Amino acid sequence: MSYSVVGQSVPRVDAREKVSGSAIYTGDMVLPHMLVGKVLRSPHAHAKIISIDTSKARSLPGVKVVLTYEDTPKIPWNSAGFPPSPGAILVEDQYILSDKARYVGDGIAAVAAVDEDTAIRALDLIEIEYEVLPALMTLERAMAAEAHLIHDAEKNIYGHTPVVIGDVEAGFAAADYVFEDTYYVPKVNQVSMEPCGVALAAPDRDGRVTIWTSTQMPHLVRRITAHALGLNIGQVRIIKPPVGGAFGSRLGVVNEPIAALLALKAGKPVMLKYTREEAFLATESRHPISMTLKTGVKKDGTFTARQLTSYIDGGAYATHTPSFAGPVAGWFLAMYKSPNIKVDNYSIYTNATQCGAFRGYGNPQVVFAVESQMDDIARKLGIDPLEFRLKNHPCAGEVWLWSGWAIESCGLEECMAKGAKAIGWSEKRNEGAGGNSRVTTGAAGTKKRGLGMGYMMHVSGARPMLHETSAAIVKINEDGGANLIYSNSDCGQGSGTALTQIAAEELGIPYEDLVMTKTADTDVSGFDIGSHASRQVYSGGNAVKGAAAVAKQKLLAMAAEMLQTPAEELVVEEGQVWVSHDPSKTLSVAEVAHAAHFGSHGHQIIGAISEEPAGNPPVYAAQFAEVEVDTETGVVEVLKVVAAHDVGTAINPAAVEGQIQGAVQQGIGYALTEEYRCDLETGRPLNPNLADYKILTSVDMPPVETILVQAASETGPFGAKSVGESGLVATAAAIANAVYDAIGIRFKELPITPEKVLAALHERKES
């Protein structure tokens, strides 16, 4: 199948404004009479509020509004952006300001003042008396029988998501080997370039409020904000300017309700812009999870039973956690076939900042554990890890347990083969139990090299967990160009470019002639569940393609009238319509559009649809890492990563590769350097800044070779599947397995820091 613009690496629609710095982000905006909002945050991880005196703050000149819990609607809500659905378990335990301090950084009061200095001074003038309670900073402490309850719930363990398929006990009994390991992954922050938590709220008409916000999901933020404020949905308008990265951090409301309440109380616009420290302190990071895997396997590599028991540290508020436990189970279930599977996922409150979505949504955690253990099992059985995985993963036509539907297409085998070739798998990987590096470097052979790999599958949307609603409108302008109105949730990933390509391709006009709305606006774009679950190109793309198809149908009907030919005999491509069997009978799209507007009837050709796609095709990847471990310093250097991804049709190959490259960078950070830490006694964060929290920069990056495998889906637009999240899912496992290959030590806890490596090497030497 050959396309005009689909499959072309055309420049991003927002390339120039992004690189020139002319893009106007929410935080750049200025409105007349705009006030500055600030939030007073708890210095205690767990404390009752005995009293709050705001009188001094209120009397400071320039202070317009001071709010505490008492001034907020007494409506509990949940910040996670879920549409109502069986897959969404929404524990509503949040208020716009807290009635009790549940983590260091919990919002206790808020002010709006004429400028930032005044707002900060006002915060200083608010006097709060706390009764400090024990800080429950670990899963163990929070789950202890005598633990103080963080919420008015029976226990701090407030959710349990069980799955049972077959009988795992019988499966373990039938196994030749049973492996049981516990893995732990830490809290990591998304660290988007634009810190999370930027909202500008302005009163609008009678009791209405407009909020410009850096979000991934305008319509669901509208929904939650309206609920939290006690308003009808139509009384809230969300506008999404360009967003400087998100990675899940903006998947739900962040500070929109508080900005809106300040603005409504002040009767003036209020800018509420979190600092980088606040983005660490008070917005949602990736869940730390303790995962125990138990796997029964026959000597031939067939699984008899698979079991996962996980304890998910959701932090101080529920938000995503109870719902998130579902996909955590889904990733585990769908990776490998087994007649017997059991999952028990528990959601736990602790006195840490609440956790939410971060690229992968539980999959990076699960894949790190599963793929680490797979490596151990393969070595134990003496089976090539590639073969072992291919033998056990479900393939095209088989049931995919994430959705319960048949797998549309699967390019994993090709990913494995091409990736292995590119990394030099058969030449460079060490044999046997690991730690017998064929390649050593360093002065005395102290640096040891190894190869590792990890496999992953991921989704192209959230069906059937959620309805995948998107809407699109395509209108053809009088000169044959077109506008696409879509709830543009592009948060930097480039989906707006891909969707423009899809619409232009379907409509049959040049890419340059199709303009997609740049900012989403809930007043004008159709209901859309936002940018998450890697759904933009698949679900959004299907809606966009559908709207373009409706417009094209009308265009061809009009052209048919003008050319006196049945519409079925017409073709439209690159702005030209012609009769398929007689290309000399032709009209430009511009001529047809002009005639529509100004000819015998005056109307514009408009295609509008709202629908969800037919499926949810999984994507696949095999990632390979070559590492060098310095046994004197403990430093793990990643020498190369090969990321072979089956993404279905790559709408824009350069953008797909960019997505994978950026994700691998986060994956290496997850493996080796990133951990958002706090003092375990006080709960005070230890590294809420970019000096102490170590993300990789471009100079820290090894070469990353991306290989695109395009096993087209049946239901995706032009065969596309997804790429948004998948690039980082397998990276940590590949690196951990490479470290094992290099030095024969299995790290079950991330990140694999030099300290941990040295400690493990010393321990081995001593034993």
Of 605-624, which residues contact a second copy (CB under 8 A)? 605-606, 608-612
Per-position DSSP letters for 365-409, written without gaps between them: HHHHHHHHHHHHHHHHHT--HHHHHHHHS--TTSEETTTTEEP--
Three-state helix/strand/coil letters over 613-678: CCCCCCEEEEEEEEEEEECCCCCEEEEEEEEEEECECCCCHHHHHHHHHHHHHHHHHHHHCCCCCE
For the four alpha carbons of 562, 568, 572 and 576, in that order, the dihedral sign comes to: negative
| 292, HSE (Cβ side, Cα atoms, 13 Å) | 8
Instruction: Report how many residues bind a second copy under the rule CB under 8 A.
Output: 69
Nearest-angstrom CA–CA distance, 618 and 629: 34
Nearest-angstrom CA–CA distance, 258 and 275: 16
Kindly tell me which of 192 and 522 has the beta carbon lying closer to a second copy.
522
CA 292 to each of CA 181, 207, 289, 638: distance values in angstroms, whole numbers, following the listed order: 6, 51, 10, 27
Is 268:64 a contact under the CB 8 Å cutoff?
A: yes
- What type of residue is 495? S
Kindly tell me which of 138 and 517 has the beta carbon lying closer to a second copy.
517
640 binds a second copy (CB under 8 A): no
Kindly tell me which of 601 and 765 has the beta carbon lying closer to a second copy.
601
Is 190:249 a contact under the CB 8 Å cutoff?
A: yes
Kindly tell me which of 561 and 569 has the beta carbon lying closer to a second copy.
561
Least distance (Å) from a second copy to the CB of residue 657?
Answer: 22
478 binds a second copy (CB under 8 A): yes
Kindly tell me which of 223 and 273 has the beta carbon lying closer to a second copy.
223
Least distance (Å) from a second copy to the CB of residue 41?
Answer: 29
Max CA pair span of the chain: 91
604 binds a second copy (CB under 8 A): yes
Buried b (16+ CB within 10 A) or exposed e, 182-213: ebbbbbbbbbbebbbbbbbbbbbeeeebbbbb
Nearest-angstrom CA–CA distance, 503 and 546: 9
- What type of residue is 173? A
517 binds a second copy (CB under 8 A): yes
524 binds a second copy (CB under 8 A): yes
208 binds a second copy (CB under 8 A): yes
Closest CA to 265 of 112, 122, 121: 112
Least distance (Å) from a second copy to the CB of residue 474?
Answer: 10
Kindly tell me which of 15 and 144 has the beta carbon lying closer to a second copy.
15
Of 231-270, which residues contact a second copy (CB under 8 A)? 232-234, 237, 267-268
Kindly tell me which of 226 and 729 has the beta carbon lying closer to a second copy.
226
Kindly tell me which of 609 and 730 has the beta carbon lying closer to a second copy.
609
105 binds a second copy (CB under 8 A): no
Kindly tell me which of 22 and 697 has the beta carbon lying closer to a second copy.
22
User: Considering only residues 4, 8, 9, 31, which one is a binding residue for a second copy as defined by CB under 8 A?
Assistant: 31
Least distance (Å) from a second copy to the CB of residue 598?
Answer: 5
Three-state helix/strand/coil letters over 310-370: EEEECCCCCCCHHHHHHHHHHHHHHHCCCCCEEEEEEEECCCCCCEECCCCCCHHHHHHHH
3 state DSSP class of 684: coil
594 binds a second copy (CB under 8 A): yes
Least distance (Å) from a second copy to the CB of residue 552?
Answer: 15
28 binds a second copy (CB under 8 A): yes
Is 119:52 a contact under the CB 8 Å cutoff?
A: no
469 binds a second copy (CB under 8 A): yes
Beta-bridge mates of residue 134: none
Kindly tell me which of 65 and 104 has the beta carbon lying closer to a second copy.
65
Angle 330-659-470 from CA coordinates, rounded to 5°: 60
114 binds a second copy (CB under 8 A): no
Contact letters for a second copy, residues 497-516 (x by CB under 8 A): ----------------xxx-
User: Considering only residues 357, 471, 537, 752, which one is a binding residue for a second copy as defined by CB under 8 A?
Assistant: 471
User: Considering only residues 384, 479, 569, 700, which one is a binding residue for a second copy as defined by CB under 8 A?
Assistant: 479
Kindly tell me which of 256 and 612 has the beta carbon lying closer to a second copy.
612
Of 121-180, which residues contact a second copy (CB under 8 A)? none
Positions touching a second copy (CB under 8 A) are 13-17, 20, 22, 24, 28-32, 83-85, 203-206, 208, 223, 226, 232-234, 237, 267-268, 466-469, 471, 473, 475, 477-479, 481-483, 485, 513-515, 517-518, 521-527, 594, 597-598, 601-606, 608-612
